[in-house]
Amino acid sequence: MSTDELAQKWPLRRVGLKVRDLSASLDYYTRLGLVLVRDERNEGKAGLGFGKQEVLSLRVLEGGRPRPTTLPCCCLARLS
The rounded distance, in Å, linking the Cα atoms of 44 and 9 is 28
Catalogue all structural domains in the chain, each as residue range(s) with its CATH number: 3-79 (3.10.180.10)
What was the pLDDT predicted at 45? 97
pLDDT exceeds cutoff 70 at 70: no
For residues 60-69, give the mean pLDDT.
76
Identify the CA nearest to 44 among candidates 16, 63, 14, 21: 21
- Bridge partners of 40, per DSSP, are 45
Contact 34, 56 (CB under 8 A): yes
pLDDT tens column, 7-56: 566 566 778 999 999 999 999 999 999 999 999 999 999 999 988 889 99
Spatial separation of the C-alpha atoms in residues 57 and 55, rounded to whole Å: 7
Residue 64 has pLDDT above 60, yes or no: yes
pTM, entire model? 0.67
Sheet strands (E) in the chain: 15-19, 35-40, 45-50, 53-60
